[in-house]
Structure 1
């Protein structure tokens, strides 16, 4: 009985152990079944298309960016070239204007304006007529009395001769009034210091004119207080303390004397 009981008890324990093991395994399997499982699905066609589209967009963006960069570079180069050309043109204009300013405006001096005097050599070709040329030309020929200098023109109503302008009045005043009138014009009564000036005034005038000649004591002097170097007194010079140029007579003897309060025409001279 005891042996049978033990055998049955042992078998029961074995069966119980098997059941426990099986139940434990089943619990563990159920626990494993209850855990979240990772499922890896195969890629769909939609995701593949999206990927390809993204890659295409990236390629297009990179291509357009490269094209835009190249276009900007071309515009930059074109702008640089344009600015360089403009700078060169402006530089050329500045150089041309500088040369013109340095040389002056050149025009050919008419031959009629160049005086022909003894010892003067007429140039074979027309020379450029500008201020510097005239200044150098006439300063080196101080003895030349030119009718037209060309470098400076006298005002309307004045005559140009040598380095002076002359005004022959058309109305009569006394000697003192005539001198004041000439002073108001910026000059004085005419001072005749050469035969050329004497001949010029005698030729241009056809009346009797006060000149800047006056007697002080026993000496005749000009209005600038210089003494007479050459005189052209007429044989019958009359009397008076002021000098008149009578252009109706020959130029070598046409100075006459007259009272200073007498009224006659006058000649003003403006030197430059």
Structure 2
């Protein structure tokens, strides 16, 4: 019988071989898994642990400013608008102030002129001795001052109830008197019975009246004349003038032929005339 050599291996080596046959230990396997999968989430760095919205700060600064520029509100427009309103308000106030000043100056000048004119008129009505000049009737003033009277009364208007034609006022009565009484009534009004000196006056009085009126025409014996002693030049006698020494204008007839004769003692309406 042959002798077989039996080699006895050390126990330590044997133990290692046994462990190699059983595979790696759990601790070693766990370490290998951690190395393969990488670090755990809790092993992240401090910078990586920050929230995601902080990662935008890593973009270049010029990109941030470019984005904020588009969303930045326009501050220039609100600042200009109040300034424009203030300037417009000041311009309006200045214009109104100048307008008020001009109106005030105009009123002052007109008041001064009015006072000056009133003073001059008052001074002219006094004579050299400081007394009022003597007065006269309208007829006497017309004789004494034929040129002065129309010039001073040129802007005078007729009183209420009087009709205006040229430089004369006419009053058509609504009551009847004799011819002499009618003349006195007209004199008390500052005038006289109407004198028809033109076709214009004849047509005017015919249209304005609708009755029979005494006029300032009277038979002086041999001829007809007006109340102011003017001779009759143009006449408008009707075809049947009747009899009498005083003239009447019948406004119901045509203006070309509407004068009639009547007794001066008869009562009729009358027309007064006031010249200025």
TM-score band w.r.t. shorter chain: 0.3 to 0.5
Larger radius of gyration, structure 1 or 2?
A: 2
TM-score when normalising by structure 2: 0.46
